[in-house]
Amino acid sequence: MYQSDIKIFELIDILKSLGIIRFDTDFCREIEMPKQSLSRIKKGLAHFTAKHIENICKVYKVNANWIFGIEKNIFNPSQVNTVKKLA
């Protein structure tokens, strides 16, 4: 599994703990990804695509550099208030 895949699964757990999503299916629907794809990624048969990552960053205001392990801030600093409103 890619490091970016691991970080996105961590993000899903964070979004659940913040009350932004309740289920994996909520996440999949919001980033326009079939639920089956998430299962394949969990099994190591596929990976999140560039389009998935782009959608994650747009929908949830996530810092793409965090997904790739470059920065420690999960959310874009300029968007933190927007993320709080989602919860």
Per-residue confidence in pLDDT tens, the chain, 87 aa: 899 999 999 999 999 999 999 999 999 999 999 999 999 999 999 999 999 999 999 999 999 999 999 999 999 876 555 554 555
Q: In the structure encoding, which two tokens stand for residue 33, read together? A: 């990804």
In angstroms, the CA 44 to CA 16 distance is 22
Q: What dotted CATH number matches 3-86?
A: 1.10.260
- Domain positions in the chain are 3-86
State how far the Cα of 24 lies from the Cα of 36, in Å rounded to an integer: 11
C-beta of residue 37 within 8 angstroms of C-beta of residue 46: yes
pTM of the model: 0.86
